[in-house]
A and B are shown apart, each in its own frame.
Chain A
Amino acid sequence: MKRLSRYRRHKAAAPLLLIFALLGIGTTFSIASATTTAETTTADRSALIEEGRQIFLKGCSSCHGLNAEGGQIAPSLIGVGAASVDFQVGTGRMPMADMSTQAMRKAPVYDAAETAAIAAYVASLAAGPDIPAEESLNYERDGSTAEGGELFRNNCAMCHNFAGQGGALTQGKYAPTLMGVDPKYIYEAMITGPQSMPVFSDKTITPAEKLSLIKWIKSAEKEPNLGGASLGRVGPVTEGLLGWTLGLGILIGVAVWLAMKAR
């Protein structure tokens, strides 16, 4: 120590001390709040991640934990990937409005830039599914409607109904309608398995098959009802209801008129 203090008035002393101090504080802080990030990031990316972290702390951490580790009421987000965030936040499901049975699609709280920031932050926590690039979502070119229909009936119709109108699960949960959903979100739902939905791995349903599925869903969405008004595309329940109310109703009405005395 006595030897070092001889240099305390050296002109390099102050800058060197500053550097040591910064390194010390920075290292201490890094060790104290260690995360499993392994990605190398560019300056832009780290700014995005930081922005995302700020939004996360304000709007998500109360349920998902300060470090996205999850808790009693919300799962851990470590490893869910950017795709999960893009889906959940982009469709407005997150932040969840009321803690009832399941998150519903609603008007998004965060805009596209904020969503991208949160996604980048969550992606930085651990490896997970990425947001599909636009180039890889060209279902018109790369998908087959008929194949998509086969895949849909095998993998999706049991929850989402034969025409993608949605269906009931147990205890008040439900598979939502697939009508009017952006193709990117459909893709992300398949690879991330949100809430009750299982994950559809790329090896069991290949990316090309996923595009066929999206193509079929979009085709069903655009397809006009050939035989008349659709009655909801849910099958015999609404058909029977209409038969009894409108059908028999009109007939009984005419019957009453028939038996009434004319003036």
Chain B
Amino acid sequence: MSNEIEAIKDPGLPAHVHRKADHDPEAAKRAERQVATMFGISALGTILLIVSYVFIPQDLFVFIPVMGDQNAHQLGLGLGMAISLFFIGMGAIHWAKTLMPDTEVVAQRHEFRSPDSDRKEFVEAVKAGAGAAGLGRRSLIKKSLGAALGLSALSPLLLLRDLGPLPKKEFETTTWKAGTYLVTDPGNRRIKASDLEVGAVAQVLPEIEDPEHRKLSDIGKDAVLLIRLRPEEFNLEADRLAMTHEGIIAFSKICSHMGCAVALYEQQTKHLLCPCHQSTFDVTRAAKVIFGPAARPLPQLDITVDGEGYLVARQPFSEPVGPSFWERNSQ
């Protein structure tokens, strides 16, 4: 009785099974016709593509069940192209499967490892070459080469400096200043406090001299959401309450998490939802975060009214708007 574990032996490649087309000329002819048919369908697809491109007008719509009204031009182009390509593939594969030889071929793998003699010669060659260069002995060359290459590789980074200006204080400033009027977005109309009913919201931007040419970079910091509640519904500290006006409260619309526009206002719960990552803010508590990944409440804009009742900002935002950054003093 042998102690060695004897594995089950490899019976070798299974016997080759011939296909119908291998021994039956009729089957072979049939396979050939099938392949030719597929190539023929492909040609029809190409014709559909050409006809659609040239003759079908771009504004014609046809009704297809399940899909509804479809543009005939697009459908013709797309299906024509799809059929023309797909059936070339089907034909080629069917040809390979039925008519080309399908006897499995066995090839040998060879070891990747080079023969020992080659390896030895490789090492000798490198040694000789390195010796000829003399880097080992000539340390002054080695050090100065290192310094030259290092400097020449790093210095082009300097060329990237003018990719953009330095941010300086721009993260902390917006267009809002003391006395800036609140205007509708779009429309650029000034808003009176009396224009808003309880439960109303308004999308707001600061009034500027040339409202037709607002820069998107400015909108990205200036966008504000105006909401009217009943004053008794607020649950605010005195200083925050002083920043509201008769139940109207204003927040930066740029999410303190990653900068999406926070504008989903749920009138009954008084919650603001940001649709990007589902951060939820409580308007009655100065946009405190009550759910989701945002870590800071939305900055509140200090608003009041002028002599005629139009809403104005009393001062700029007291903190940077939008997502956090290293230099942000968030305490």
Q: Touching in the complex, A and B, CB below 8 A?
A: yes
Query: CB within 8 Å of B: which residues of A?
Result: 147, 150-151, 154-155, 158-159, 167, 169-171, 173, 175, 193, 195-201, 203-206, 209, 224-230, 254, 257-258, 260-263
A-B contacts counted at CB < 8 A amount to 108
* A195 contact set on B, CB distance < 8 A: 267-268
- The answer to whether B268 touches A201, judged by C-beta atoms less than 8 angstroms apart, is no
Other-chain residue from B19, B268, B273 in contact with A262 (beta carbon distance below 8 A):
B19
B20-A263 in contact (CB<8A): yes
**Per DSSP, are chain A's interface residues mostly helix, strand or loop, or mixed?**
loop
- Alpha-carbon distance between A203 and B190 when the two chains are bound, in angstroms: 10
Q: Within 8 Å CB of A230, what residues of B?
A: 68
B201–A224 CB distance below 8 A: no
Asked if residues A228 and B70 are in contact (CB atoms below 8 Å), the reply is yes
* B213 CB to nearest chain A CB (Å): 16
Closest Cβ–Cβ distance, residue B60 to chain A (whole Å)? 11
- Determine if A158 and B263 form an interchain contact, defined as CB atoms under 8 angstroms apart: yes
Interface size on B, residues (CB 8 A): 49
Q: What would be 12 A-B contacts, judged by CB atoms less than 8 Å apart?
A: A147-B186, A155-B203, A158-B261, A167-B275, A198-B227, A205-B184, A224-B61, A225-B70, A229-B67, A254-B93, A261-B17, A263-B20
The main secondary structure of chain B at its interface with chain A is mixed
Please determine whether A199 and B186 come into contact, CB atoms closer than 8 angstroms: no
Whether A261 touches B19, Cβ cut-off 8 Å, given contacts A169-B273, A196-B268, A198-B199, is: yes
B243-279 vs A, CB cutoff 8 Å, 1 = contact: the mask equals: 0000000000000000001011111110101010010
Determine the chain A residues whose CB is within 8 A of the CB of B197 once the complex forms: 199, 201
A193–B200 CB distance below 8 A: yes
CB–CB B267/A198 < 8 A: yes
Most chain B C-beta atoms within 10 Å of own C-beta, residue among A173, A199, A257, A260? A199
Interchain residue pairs A-B with the least CB separation, the first 8 = A203-B195, A224-B69, A199-B200, A262-B97, A204-B202, A198-B201, A229-B67, A158-B263
Residues of B within 8 A of A (CB): 17, 19-21, 61, 66-71, 74-75, 78, 89, 93, 97-98, 102, 184-187, 191-192, 195-203, 227, 261, 263-269, 271, 273, 275, 278, 280, 291
Determine whether the beta carbon of A159 is less than 8 Å from that of B264: yes
B21–A262 touching, CB < 8 Å = yes
Q: Which residues of A contact B191 (CB under 8 A)?
A: 203-204
Minimum Cβ distance to chain A for residue B183 (Å): 10
The residue from B70, B71, B267 contacting A193, defined by CB atoms under 8 A apart: B267
